[in-house]
Every structure is written in C-alpha cells, then in structure tokens.
C-alpha cells in the first residue's frame, strides 16, 4: 500500500462497496424465495443468467440498456411465475425435493441457453466510461450498480410494506392458516412470491451483464455464495441480506486486497461457517426481524 491519498481511499471504498452491492444483488431474489416460502431454489443462478441473456438480446435490437434491464427482470418474473405454477407448487414443505427439482431445472435452463445462444461468452460493452479522481480511474458503472442494489432493496421494502400483495404475503408467512381463513389465496400468493424472487434475480443478471461475461454457466459462480449469504443473513429479507452482504462481501474484499482473491474467497467461506455457528438463526434472526 503506497499512498494514502484521497483517490486511493476512494478506490478501496468503491471497490468494497461494489463487492457488497453485487453480493446483495445476487442474494436478494434467493432471500425472498427462502424467507417467504422456505424454498431452496438451486436454479437461482440460472434465473440470473436468463436476465443477463434477455438484456443482451434486447440491446442487440437496439433497446437502450437502462430500459432493457428492467424489462429483462420483468420477463424473468413472468418465467418464474410459470415455473412456480408448473413445478414449484408441488414442492412446498419438501425442502430436499425442492433442491433436487430445481437442480434439475437449472441443468435444463443452462443447456437450453447453450442450444439457443451457443456456449461462448457474449457481452455488452460497459457503458458510461470512467472518471478520474486524484490519479485513480473509476468505472462509472460501478456506481450504477451500487445505487441499483440499494434501490432494489428499497423496492423490496416498499413491495412488502406498501402493496396489498406484500402485506398479504407477510401475513401468510406468519400465519398461513389464519391468512387463508381471512380469504387470502395462498396459491396465487406463492406464485407471486416466486415470480418476484425470480424477477429480482433477473434484474441482478441484467445489471451484471455489462460488467462480466454473459455465458450459460455464469449462474454457477454465484449460487453458492448467494445461498450462504441468505443463510447467514437469516429470515429478515432486507436486513438479513444487507447485513450478511456487508459482512461477507466486506471481508472478502478486504482480504482479497490485502493478499489474493483466493484467500478472499476462503475468508468468505470461513466467516460464513463461524457466523452460522455463533448465530444459528442468522444475523437478522437475532434481531427477530421479518423484513
């Protein structure tokens, strides 16, 4: 570490914020599914990948990126709705079976994508270029990602507290029998929950597409870490994801910088293990938060 200048500090800070934001982004959809429905969706990475590919295809037909990404998320949400109706709804309460079936689904989705788009990586050029502060270059798009991560968490919060769907969904989680008794349709709610979780994954994929390579197996890189973030985070969808991302993403980034990304990854895993040991119900479980 050479000069402790403003530019350098900013660079470290932005890099860390970016790591945390990316982890939060890829985990949010999984958190919704796990927290709201108790489903472990091993195809989560593939929904993310779908969002990236839809974004890619839209930009190829000249839809501007800032429009393509939201549309991609919605498209993946629709896909999620369909998947829920056709497959997931048979699997509630069967945690292990949901893992098996969604693993099968992930194989299918990945290979269909290969057949449709080919195996090689494709890409979208990163927009917005860079800006220079104190001799250090920053990618403007990194800021976009950080801001969007926060926006999406705010969106989740608003969805669950301000819309009738959200309020019903939370009620159904707290007391399913009672919710059904007052007329909330659990089946429709489940489908919407899953669709929402899928859409979040799609938005994450779309946002990441200009930064990383878009390829059929891109989901694999994220599923394990997303899974761990969700479990370490605990039942609170937003508080859990945010706190776990801060903890795991922050530590990974710091350790990567101080040594190598290999140790960074190892550190993330080890911290996850220790966190689960010390806080068996997750970070937000301690605080007894639902959101």
Partner 1 sequence: MHTHASFFRRPDSSMTPMLSHVTSRLTPIRATLVLAILLIVGSLWMPDFLQSQASNWIIFGLLGVSLVFVWGKAGIFSFGQGAFFGIGGYVYGIASINLVAVTNETVSAVVLATLGAAVAAGLLGYFIFYGKVGDVYVGVVTLASTLVLFTFMSSTASPVYHVGDALLGGYNGMAGIPPLTVGWPGGSPVALTIWQTLAILVALAALVLCVLYTLLARPFGYIVSAIRDNEQRTQLLGYDIRLRKLVVFMIGGAIAGLAGALYAAWGMFISPTVFGLQQAALVVIWVLVGGRASIAGAFFGVVFVEGLSTLLGSGGGNATPVVLGVVLILVVLLLPQGTVPALQSWLRPRTRASSTPVEAPAAEFSGGAVDPLMPPGLSAGSSANSSLRVNGLLKRFGGLTAVHDVSISFAERGVHCLIGPNGAGKSTFFNLLAGRFSPTSGQILFAGRDMTRAEPHTRARAGMGIKLQIASIFPGHSVHENVWLSAYAKLHSRAAAEARATEIIDWLGLGPLRHVLAGELSHGQKQWLEIGMVCATAPGIVLLDEPTAGMTRTETARTAALISSLGRYANVIVVEHDMAFVRQLNVPVTVFHQGSVFASGRLEELQQDERVLNIYLGRHGGQRA
Partner 2 sequence: MFNLCGKSLVLALALTSLVPAHAQSKDPIVVGSILDETGGLNIYGKAMADSTRLAIEDINKSGGVLGSQLKRVSYDAQSNNANYSRYANELALRDKAVVIMGGVTSASREAIRPVADRNKTLYFYNEQYEGGVCDKNVFNTGVVPSQQLAPLIDYAVKHYGKRLYVLAADYNYGHISADWVKTYATKDGAQVVGTDFIPLDVAEFGSTITKLQDNKPDVVVSLLVGGNHIAFYRQFASAGLGGKMTIVSPTFGLGNEQTVLGAKEAKGILAIYPYFQEVDTPANRKFTALWSSTYGANHGYITDSAVAVWNGWHLWAKAVQKAGTTDRTKVISALESGISIDSPSGTVTMDGSSHHAIQNTYFAQANDSHGFTIVGKQDAVPPAFEKEKCDLIKNPGLHTQFMPGQ
Q: Does 201 bind partner 2 (CB under 8 A)?
A: no
Partner that binds at residue 132, options partner 1, partner 2, none, CB closer than 5 to 8 Å by kind: partner 2
Identity of the residue, 135 or 280, whose beta carbon is nearer to partner 2 in the bound complex: 135
Stretch that binds partner 2, among 34-42, 91-99, 127-135, 273-281 (CB under 8 A): 127-135
Of the two residues 156 and 228, which places its CB atom closer to partner 1 in the complex? 228
> How many CB atoms within 10 Å of residue 182?
9
The conformational region for residue 126 under phi > 0 = left, psi -120 to 50 = alpha, else beta, is beta
Q: Least distance to partner 2 from the beta carbon of 213, Å?
A: 4
Q: How far apart are CA 113 and CA 201, in angstroms?
A: 16
Told to check if 135 binds partner 2 by CB under 8 A, we report yes
For the bound state, the minimum distance from the C-beta of residue 82 to partner 2, rounded and expressed in Å, comes to: 21
Binder of residue 28, out of partner 1, partner 2, none (CB less than 5 to 8 A by kind): none
Which residues are near partner 1 by CB under 8 A?
35, 38, 40, 42, 87, 90-91, 93-97, 99-101, 103-108, 110-112, 114-115, 173, 220, 223-224, 227-228, 231-232, 234-235, 262, 265-266, 269-270, 272-273, 276-277, 280-282, 285
Which residue, 74 or 220, is less far from partner 1 as judged by CB?
220
Identify which of residues 121 and 260 has a Cβ nearer to partner 1 in the complex. Answer: 260
Our finding on whether 12 is near partner 2 (CB under 8 A) is: yes
Shortest reach from residue 215's CB to partner 2, in Å: 4
In the 3-class helix/strand/coil scheme, how is the chain assigned residue by residue? CCCCCHHHHHHHHHHHHHHHHHHHHHHHHHHHHHHHHCCCCCCHHHHHHHHHHHHHHHHHCCCCHHHHHHHHHHHHHHHHHHHHHHCHHHCCCCHHHHHHHHHHHHHHHHHHHHHHHCCCCECCCCCCCEEEECCEEEEHHHHHHHHHHHHHHHHHHHHHHHCHHHHHHHHHHHCHHHHHHCCCCHHHHHHHHHHHHHHHHHHHHHHHCCCCCECCCCCHHHHHHHHHHHHHHCCCHHHHHHHHHHHHHHHHHHHHHHCCHHHHHHHHHHHHHHHHHHCCCCHHHHHCCCC
Nearer to partner 2, 94 or 162 (CB): 94
Q: Which does 223 bind (CB under 5 to 8 A by kind): partner 1, partner 2, none?
A: partner 1
**CA of residue 146 relative to chain centroid, distance:** 13
Considering the complex, state which of residue 64 and residue 280 has its C-beta at the smaller distance from partner 1: 280
Using CB under 8 A, list all residues that contact partner 2: 1-3, 8, 11-12, 14-16, 18-19, 22, 111, 114, 118-126, 128-130, 132, 135-142, 210-213, 215, 217-218, 220-221, 253, 256-257, 260-262, 264-265
């Amino acid at each position: 570490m050479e000069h402790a200048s403003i530019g350098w500090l900013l660079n470290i800070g932005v890099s860390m914020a970016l790591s945390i934001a990316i982890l939060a982004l890829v985990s949010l959809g999984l958190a919704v599914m796990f927290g709201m429905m108790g489903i472990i969706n091993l195809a989560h990475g593939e929904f993310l990948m779908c969002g990236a590919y839809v974004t890619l295809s839209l930009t190829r037909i000249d839809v501007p990126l800032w429009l393509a990404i939201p549309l991609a998320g919605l498209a993946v949400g629709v896909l999620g709705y369909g998947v829920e109706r056709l497959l997931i709804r048979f699997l509630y309460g069967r945690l292990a079976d949901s893992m098996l079936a969604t693993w099968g689904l992930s194989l299918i989705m990945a290979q269909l994508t290969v057949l449709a788009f080919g195996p090689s990586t494709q890409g979208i050029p990163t927009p917005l270029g860079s800006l220079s502060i104190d001799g250090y270059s920053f990618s403007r798009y990194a800021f976009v990602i950080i801001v969007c991560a926060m926006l999406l968490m705010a969106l989740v919060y608003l969805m669950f507290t301000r819309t009738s769907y959200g309020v019903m969904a939370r009620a159904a989680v707290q007391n399913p029998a009672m919710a059904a008794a007052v007329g909330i349709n659990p089946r429709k709610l489940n489908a919407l929950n899953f669709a929402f979780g899928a859409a979040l994954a799609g938005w994450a994929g779309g946002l990441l597409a200009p930064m990383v390579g878009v390829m059929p197996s891109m989901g694999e890189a994220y599923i394990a870490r997303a899974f761990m973030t969700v479990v370490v985070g605990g039942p609170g969808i937003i508080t859990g994801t945010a706190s776990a991302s801060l903890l795991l993403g922050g530590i990974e980034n710091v350790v990567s910088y101080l040594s190598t990304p290999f140790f960074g990854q190892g550190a993330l895993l080890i911290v996850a293990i220790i966190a689960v040991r010390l806080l068996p119900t997750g970070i937000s479980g301690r605080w007894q938060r639902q959101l």
